[in-house]
Structure formats: structure tokens, C-alpha cells
Chain A
Amino acid sequence: SQQGEEDPQALSIQEGENATMNCSYKTSINNLQWYRQNSGRGLVHLILIRSNEREKHSGRLRVTLDTSKKSSSLLITASRAADTASYFCATGRNYQLIWGAGTKLIIKP
């Protein structure tokens, strides 16, 4: 069963704008991970944030985690056409990752 739920299910923005995706989950976690999936490169790990962390940055990516609300957000700044993909959050507990259904992001040129 899926634990994470991404919001929105789909997002379409202009190139250069920022994109924000949210993820909610249900049970306690060790970490929360964001992955990107597109037809060209398959499923790729973007960033991992541990349960004792609140914010993490990697390049144009910023992830926040609020364990009290059981939610996370992924912000992509200055979006590019190459960012067009589906984005998944996956919550880690022990060794398992439980996945949401993803947010489909489309960057319009």
C-alpha cells in the first residue's frame, strides 16, 4: 500500500518559474527521499532528508520536512525544460521505501 501522497498530481509551469511539490505520509520514518523519473533516465535519486533534519539543499533543489505534520515539500527553483518528469517521494523506515503516486511536472518553454 502507498504511504506517501504527492500533491499536486500534475503541475505545469513556465520555464524559469519555481515548482513546489508536497508529500504527506502516515507513519514514523527514518528518512524521506525524493526521486525523479523520466523516460530518458529512468528513476533517479535526488535527495534524502533524515527524520531529524528540517531542511536540505542540493543545487536548485530545496527539501523541507515537518515530522509533526508528516509532510515534506520539494522546491525546484529556476525550472528548466529538462526538469519535466514525474517526481516521487518515498519514505524510509528500516530498509523499506514506501512510495507515493508521484507529481507529474511539465515545464513549458
Chain B
Amino acid sequence: GAGVSQSPSNKVTEKGKDVELRCDPISGHTALYWYRQSLGQGLEFLIYFQGNSAPDKSGLPSDRFSAERTGGSVSTLTIQRTQQEDSAVYLCASGDGGPQDTQYFGPGTRLTVL
């Protein structure tokens, strides 16, 4: 079946602009995760959605970052007033949730802030 999809694949923006990144999880997966990966680094957890529960936003680096998940499916990560340090690959993953969850990743969105 279809995997996790993300759009756009690449986004170049100017400092100070807002950007929206989209994630379509695998159908039926209740858990959705956003991560950020800087060049040559591991993944940095940003936010976690599980079903209808309140999201875990503990990884969001600043109040310029927000995310929502509509109808328990598609999610949008919004970065307001982008800064150059926001440049990274933003990865979305989905899974069944729970302590032994395997996460299935999308191809990522490469964000470049000029």
C-alpha cells in the first residue's frame, strides 16, 4: 500500500517568511511524528500525535513552530518567521502507536531558509 508522503519535497524560502509542510500518513495509522534532521545529524523529535489525544509538543524548538492534525490523518507543520537555523530536512513518520511502535518515514521536506 501507499507509504507516508510529504510535500513539498524541497522548499526554499526567505528569512522571515512562513512555511507549511504537509504529511500524509499511512492509512489507519493512529500515531504521527514530526522530526527535524540537520546535515549529518540524527533526528530531533518535534511533535507527536496519537489518535484524539492532546499532542506532545515538547520537542518544538520555539513558539514559531506549530503543527496540527486534521481528522486524525493529514498533518501540517507550520514554521512562522523562518530563520536560517530552521534549515533542515523535516521528516514525518506514522505508526500504530504504543511502546513497541515501528515508525514508517516519509521522504522528508528539505527546507532552505536564505
B-binding residues in A (CB < 8 A): 2, 4, 30-31, 33, 35, 42-45, 48, 50, 88, 90, 92-102
Contact = CB atoms under 8 A, between A and B. Distances in A.
Given A43-B91, A101-B40, A95 B99 contact: yes
A42 B106 contact: yes
A92 B100 contact: yes
Interface of B: 31, 33, 35, 40-45, 48, 50, 56, 91, 93, 97-108
18 contacts: A4-B42, A33-B102, A35-B105, A43-B91, A43-B105, A43-B108, A44-B105, A45-B102, A45-B105, A48-B100, A94-B99, A95-B48, A95-B98, A95-B99, A96-B45, A99-B45, A100-B42, A102-B42
Contacts of B99: 30-31, 92-95
Contacts of B103: 45, 97
B108 A95 contact: no
Q: Top 9 A-B pairs ranked by shortest CB distance?
A: A99-B42, A43-B105, A99-B43, A30-B99, A101-B42, A42-B107, A45-B102, A100-B42, A31-B100
A2 B50 CA distance: 23
A89 to B, nearest CB: 9
Given A97-B103, A99-B43, 4 more contacts: A90-B43, A92-B99, A95-B48, A95-B99
Contacts, number: 60
B100 A30 contact: yes
A95 to B, nearest CB: 6
Contacts of A99: 35, 42-45
A101 B100 contact: no
A96 B46 CA distance: 10
A12 B99 CA distance: 34
Contacts of A96: 45, 48, 56
Given A100-B42, A101-B41, A95 B106 contact: no
Contacts of B102: 33, 45, 48
